[in-house]
Amino acid sequence: MPLTELDKETQYKDIITRAQGNLVVVYFTAIWCGPCRQIAPAVANIATKHPNVEIMKVDVDRFKAIARAHTVSAIPTFVFMKGMKTVHTQTSPNPSELEGLIYKYSHSDTSGTSSSKKSGGPEGYSDITTLVTLPQVECLNEKESGSAKSILKNDGLTLESDVDEQLIISIPFDQNVRIHSMRIVPTHEKNKAPRTVKLYANQRDLGFDEAGDIEPTQTITITPEDYESGRFVQLRYVKFQNISSLVIFIEDNVGEEDVTALRRIALFGKTAEATNMSDLKKADGSKIGGG
């Protein structure tokens, strides 16, 4: 929705109440603030992209009591609220970081826990992204170094490809796991979201040439409808047992764009020792040991 500029102090509580628990971002600024002027067009643009999020612009000189209540000591400062509870405060973010935080907290409960983390993923499976050995994660063709680690940590940043649309992410685990399903969260530019995704179980240091020569463990095609629904992409569970590392090769994107962009990769499953054999299915979908 359009950016709301606070005109009188009574509006503050009215806007938060009107949001009915949805995210409200209180954007503290001032006319004389240079960084505020620089980010202002981006904030206005971001506001139009998130119809369920209210961004409230508050001039710290006009509304000093509200600024004091949030202990604002630098501007621009963005306070993320659900109801009357502050869930996050960020000073001087860049536009990409700001939008990532809006996505994160608009899809979370009041503690900032995403719905997939809160529920533990598909029934019976937990988020095993927490078992990734983050310092050893590598990504080929990422625009900004470390972006792949960021989307696995779910810290609100974005992973973008650089010279073309392809990405290869090498993911090691702290312990062996069994992967049941995954979810890829797009940015607001959903035409840049991954479409063809090839998975290689127990592979490391795979390059683009090798990825073209080696048969993937599974190839997934993700549609715009999948992204709209936010559904989990179920893997062939029997093929992803006792996994110490995983390579994700993003071959293209849904809009055939030159750049691929995504905000989050989450993996769901169990540790290797926690799996019941009755959970496993053959490639044709029948249970192992079943009649």
Between the alpha carbon of residue 38 and those of residues 31, 35, 41, the distances in Å are 11, 5, 7
Q: Tell me the backbone φ, ψ of residue 264, rounded to 5 degrees.
A: -160, 140
Between the alpha carbon of residue 144 and those of residues 87, 150, 165, 222, 271, the distances in Å are 27, 10, 14, 24, 31
**How many residues are present in the chain?**
291
DSSP symbol at 289: T
- In the residue annotation, 139 being an active-site residue is answered as no
- In the residue annotation, 33 being an active-site residue is answered as yes
Closest CA to 61 of 48, 50, 72: 72
CA angle 249, 251, 257 (to 5 degrees): 135
- 99 near 46, Cβ under 8 Å? yes
Please count the helices (runs of H) and the strands (runs of E) in the chain: 8, 14
- 263 near 100, Cβ under 8 Å? yes
Given the residues 25, 33, 46, 171, the one annotated as active site: 33
Given the residues 36, 43, 101, 247, the one annotated as active site: 36
- 80 near 101, Cβ under 8 Å? yes
Catalytic residues: 33, 36
